[in-house]
Amino acid sequence: MFFKKTIIFCFLLLAGFLSAQTTTPTLTVSAGPNKKICLGNQTTLNGSANGGTKPYQSTTWSPGKTLSDSTILTPVASPTTTTVYTLTVKDAGDVKSTSTVTVYVYAYTASAGQDTTIKEGQTITLHGQAPGDSLVYWSIDSAGSGNILNPNTLTPDVFPEYTTGYTLIAVFPNGCTIYDHIKVTVIPDGQLYFFNSFSPNGDNINDYFVIGNIEQYPNNTFEVYNRYGQKVFSKTGYKNDWNGSYLGTELPCGTYFYILDTHDPKGGKYHGEVNIIK
């Protein structure tokens, strides 16, 4: 009798052990962290599901109207107003679990302005628009030619060497971001353009006297004089590299006079005024 009881006890113990080993983990679902977007933008929801009896029978987001696919865990959401999304997952054992996430939508707008056209060598001021509480900056397309002054303002100056796109990026206090794009088309042109002021203060913004298209006349000679007729700069083959100094010393603010000879019938000779400001 004792032997039989021992066998029964061991059997029950083994059954309990096996039952414990095959217990299905609880189905847990997460809709992911809340998101913040600007009106007109979109964001990816980061849903996840763990445990339960697999394979899962269904994955459903509600409301699904503003989602790219309401039957996957990571759909793209494009709501026009602040929306609470509910993620529901049902496993193979008909067990359901839900979770919610809120996508906050802020009705901010920003504009980079209208596409425009300039001649090669010219500079143009962009006119972006964004609310005053935003942090703005401009980026240049990877295939662009660069050349942008004051990129952290709504009105930077740009002088692309060839057709280039610029993107205005506006970041708002709540964390949402707006992007808008503008294209500046550049028409080839050999005319020289003289920018009559620069500010050589070492901030890498407008630190040099620039002559648009000067690179097309590599044999040029360039001279600068102060108001007393003293020559303070001269160079053969000027390449927009005068920083307002004379013999390594910064010149005072004021008006200076330049003479440029392109040594090219197409280019000709030029003279004019340039102002050093700081």
Whole-prediction pTM: 0.65
- Listing DSSP states for 239-265 in one string gives -S---SEETTEEPPSEEEEEEEE-SST
Cα dihedral sign, 245-251-253-259: negative
Q: How far is CA 67 from the centre of its chain?
A: 25
Give per-10-residue mean pLDDT for the chain (278 aa): 47 45 82 93 96 95 97 97 98 96 93 95 94 92 80 93 94 89 93 92 86 94 97 96 94 97 93 94
148: left (phi over 0), alpha (psi -120 to 50) or beta: beta
Same topology between domain 26-106 and domain 193-276:
yes
What's the confidence (pLDDT) of residue 15? 46
Domain 26-106, CATH number (from 3.40.50.150, 3.40.30.10, 2.40.10.120, 2.60.40.10): 2.60.40.10
Domain covering 116-187, topology: Immunoglobulin-like (2.60.40)
Report the pLDDT value the prediction gives residue 149, as an integer from 0 to 100. Answer: 85
Please give the backbone phi and psi of residue 95, each rounded to the nearest 5 degrees, phi first. -85, 130
The domain limits of the chain are 26-106, 116-187, 193-276
Architecture of domain 193-276: Sandwich (2.60)
The pLDDT score that the predictor gives to residue 30 is 98
Ramachandran area for residue 33 (φ above 0: left; ψ -120 to 50: alpha; else beta): beta
CA distances from 95 to 22, 24, 53 (A): 17, 11, 8
DSSP 30-59: E----EEEETT--EE---EEESSSSSPSEE
Q: In this predicted structure, what is the pLDDT of residue 22?
A: 56
